[in-house]
Chain A
């Protein structure tokens, strides 16, 4: 059981966490959601006694973390996958942690097997990928067979098999009666893993409820109904009929109708009775992701803006549009927000092979961190350690 009361953390003028109170109960997986910079990691660090709260307090099993007797046997935590001395092997790293709590070395080999790192146990951890680092961090958390587990973004960098494994591991740990607290910024992941959700934004509590309740409170089933284009009269007629039967009818930007409160067969019957032809009648569910985005909309610190690239592109030649010229904006009646599920891969008639970037266009910077890696692997140990 983790209990936070009025937890507040300020760094100078910036308030990272403000007046946060919540309980994390044993036996269920509690998801901790929030956009980047919302204070998730700060809260995790305060739970572990690494950062001192400016105000309020947080306890684990009734004790502040710093006063816990034999903390490693009671609380296991994965905070940062790469928080490992790169020159030390995975096994030595875990062994040093095991010795702190008087855990036998046999347990080290056990957890290495559990996370699937037994084959690289004696390799230096600086050669590990992010996913392997996450597995090593999870191994460290499991080491002391603790009753309380904290995981900060455990699925970052894991492959689909690893994500599934983490998901099942969390559920298994919770089913054994442990307290499991998992942070993430992915609503979709939490919807599958967690039983209870704590959502924060800008360091403040936005929502604290079971996942099922969150889903029913935030997602609404609806039907989309489309009448033949170019005949607004039919649309008006159907709207009136549906409203008269007790449904709520909203108009979508492209002329379709969004109907709630009526089952699909009833809508069909009503349309038939009103003598209106239908071009579409489909069931929809507003996704949890959307609900979460709506909830945290006002609390996003780092919002991306359009990359217009205007100053990088040559001005269009008059009379010669060419292929490189900017296309006119898509017609506004195409839905810009995702009302449609994206077509499955391979069936999208508009999908084409990835295009080579235009000459002079900037390369995406995504490859930069990887490019730096081989060079520091070549350095000698002493310079690596000196960093």
Chain B
């Protein structure tokens, strides 16, 4: 048995020695923080133009996380590339020849990359929150207010889980291009569009990103958004189920198929 600490160390070397790691994680952080700051500034100046309902459910925490819609795509790319480049380069055969135990290999890789994504996600989340609040002026909230800390930590968890979900999908599909071609339109377009279509949105509520993002709302159903039949932790639980399913699927594919 290849020892788990050895595999973890090796995966960490692999992940820190390619430049795509730095680029995708930096993009996730910068895009999320910058876009959140911009929308916070815009909403501050246009707060009086909001509708009654929107003003009643105004959620300064959630507003500062607006950049996640785009920033999560960089996390998707990170997650896909961590796994996908093993296949596109043929490195997977070298890796599996060195670590014949598929479970040790996959879950060590996922653990290292997931932990890194989680750390970057938490930094992103806190930065977005503080910068957004600073720009929201009199509409701001503080970390000490009810449920705010939960939402900010939840934002970091959300980004980490998105990356893990992408890793699972990439392991199942065994191709970076195919995985990105499915995941990016799904998170950026399909999920967003379906959540606005009557009937379809009843299903879309249970999509990983829709369910998981509820953790970032301090005010339930913030800014007049759809009511959900689950709470913030329930939503995160649904997302966790998606992640578990994709990783399990990835493991089964890796175990069954020839490399």
**A interface residues, Cβ below 8 angstroms from B:** 45, 48-52, 65-72, 75, 77, 79-80, 82-89, 92-93, 95-97, 99-102, 140, 381-382, 385-387
B9 within 8 Å of A by Cβ? yes
Contacts of B99 in A (CB 8 A): 71, 100
Q: How far is the CA of A45 from the CA of B2 in the complex (A)?
A: 19
B177 touches A70 (CB 8 A): no
Which of B1, B85, B97, B177 neighbours the largest number of chain A CB atoms within 10 Å of its CB? B97
Given contacts A68-B100, A70-B1, A99-B6, contact A50 B259 (CB under 8 A): yes
The 9 tightest CB contacts between A and B, nearest first, are: A83-B90, A92-B17, A385-B20, A51-B258, A99-B10, A96-B13, A66-B100, A50-B259, A381-B19
Given contacts A99-B9, A382-B20, is CB(A140)–CB(B94) below 8 Å?
Answer: yes
Q: Are A71 and B19 in contact, CB atoms less than 8 angstroms apart?
A: no
Chain A residues within an 8 Å CB radius of B14: 85, 88, 92, 96
| Interfacial chain A residues near B258, Cβ < 8 Å | 45, 50-52
A48 contacts which of B20, B89, B97 (Cβ < 8 Å)?
A: B97
A86 to B91, CA, bound (A): 10
Residues on A with beta carbons closer than 8 Å to the beta carbon of B2: 70-72, 100-101
B111 CB, min distance to chain A CBs, angstroms:
15
From B96, which residue of chain A is reached at the shortest CB distance? A50
- B66 in contact (CB, < 8 A): no
Show 27 residue pairs from A and B whose CB-CB distance is below 8 angstroms, ordered by the A residue. A45-B258, A50-B93, A68-B100, A70-B1, A70-B2, A80-B90, A80-B93, A82-B89, A83-B91, A83-B92, A83-B94, A84-B89, A84-B91, A85-B18, A85-B85, A95-B13, A99-B9, A99-B10, A99-B13, A140-B94, A381-B18, A382-B24, A382-B77, A385-B18, A385-B85, A386-B176, A386-B177
How far, in angstroms, from A66 to B13 measured CA to CA in the complex?
Answer: 23
Cβ distance B138 to chain A, nearest Cβ, rounded Å: 40
CA distance A140 to B95 in the complex (A): 11
Given contacts A52-B258, A99-B13, A101-B6, contact A387 B20 (CB under 8 A): no
Q: In whole angstroms, how far apart are the Cα atoms of A96 and B99 in the complex?
A: 12
Asked if B97 contacts A71 (CB within 8 A), the reply is yes
Interface membership of B7, Cβ < 8 A: yes
When distances are taken between beta carbons in the complex, the residues of chain B under 8 Å from A68 are 100
Contact at B91–A85, with CB atoms within 8 Å? yes
- Least Cβ–Cβ distance between B222 and chain A, in angstroms: 34
Tell me if A386 and B6 are in contact (CB < 8 A).
no
Contact B85 A100 (CB under 8 A): no
- A79-B93, A93-B17 are known; give 4 further A-B pairs, CB within 8 A: A82-B90, A84-B91, A85-B18, A87-B18
- B93's partner among A71, A83, A92, A93 (CB-CB below 8 A) is A83
* Contact of A387 with B88 in the complex, beta carbons under 8 Å: yes
Residues of chain B with a CB closer than 8 A to A69's CB: 1
Contact: B19 with A84, CB < 8 Å? no
Q: Could you mark each residue 124-158 of chain B with 1 if its beta carbon is under 8 Å from any beta carbon of chain A, else 0?
A: 00000000000000000000000000000000000
Q: Which residues of A contact B92 (CB under 8 A)?
A: 83
By the criterion CB–CB under 8 Å, are A100 and B17 in contact? no
B3 touches A (CB below 8 Å): yes
A100 to B11, CA, bound (A): 9
- Taking CB atoms, residues of chain B closer than 8 Å to A100 are 2, 6-7, 10, 98-99
* Contact B6 A102, beta carbon cutoff 8 Å: yes
Closest chain A residue, CB of each to CB of B180 = A386
A87 CA to B14 CA, complexed, in Å: 10
Give the docked Cα–Cα distance between A96 and B17 (Å). Answer: 9
Chain B residues with CB below 8 A from A71, complex form: 2, 97-100
Q: Is B81 an interface residue (CB 8 A)?
A: yes
Q: Closest approach, in angstroms, between the C-beta of B87 and any C-beta of chain A?
A: 10
A99 to B12, CA, bound (A): 10
Residues in B with CB closer than 8 Å to A102 are: 3, 6
B186 at the interface (CB under 8 A from A): no
Which chain A residue has the least Cβ–Cβ distance from B24?
A382
Expressed in whole angstroms, the Cα–Cα distance for A385 and B89 within the complex equals 9
B207-259, CB < 8 A from A:
258-259
Residue in contact with A85 in the complex, picked from B3, B89, B93, B101, CB distance below 8 Å: B89
- Interface check B23, CB cutoff 8 A: yes
Q: What is the CA–CA distance of A60 and B150 in the complex, to the nearest angstrom?
A: 53
Which residues of B from 78 to 122 have beta carbons under 8 Å from A?
81, 85-86, 88-94, 96-101
Most buried by A among B7, B24, B91, B99: B91
Specify which chain A residues have a CB less than 8 angstroms from the CB of B97 in the assembled complex. Answer: 48-50, 71, 75, 77, 79
User: Chain A contacts of B94 at CB under 8 A?
Assistant: 79, 83-84, 97, 140
Question: Using Cβ atoms and an 8 Å threshold, which residues of chain B touch A50?
Answer: 93, 96-97, 258-259
Residues of B within 8 A of A80 (CB): 90, 93
Q: Are B10 and A97 in contact (CB under 8 A)?
A: yes
Known contacts A83-B90, A86-B89, A381-B23; is-contact A51 B100 (Cβ 8 Å): no
Residues of chain B with a CB closer than 8 A to A65's CB = 100
Q: How far is the CB of B142 from chain A (nearest CB, A)?
A: 37
Neighbouring B residues of A49 by C-beta, 8 Å: 96-97, 100
Q: Contacts A83-B94, A96-B13, A100-B10; is A385 near B100 (CB within 8 Å)? A: no
B residues less than 8 Å from A85 (CB atoms): 14, 18, 85-86, 89, 91
Q: Which residues of A sit under 8 angstroms from B17, Cβ to Cβ?
A: 88-89, 92-93, 95-96
* Nearest neighbor of B16 in chain A, beta-carbon distance: A92
- B176 nearest in chain A by CB position: A386
Q: Which residue on chain B has the smallest CB distance to residue A69?
A: B1
Report the bound CA distance from A66 to B99 in whole Å.
8
Look across to chain B and name the residue whose beta carbon is closest to the beta carbon of A42. B258
Question: Which B residues lie within 8 Å of A66 (CB)?
Answer: 100-101
Cα-based distance from A99 to B2 in the complex (angstroms) = 10
Distance from A372 Cβ to chain B, minimum over Cβ atoms (Å): 16
B residues within 8 A CB of A45?
93, 258-259
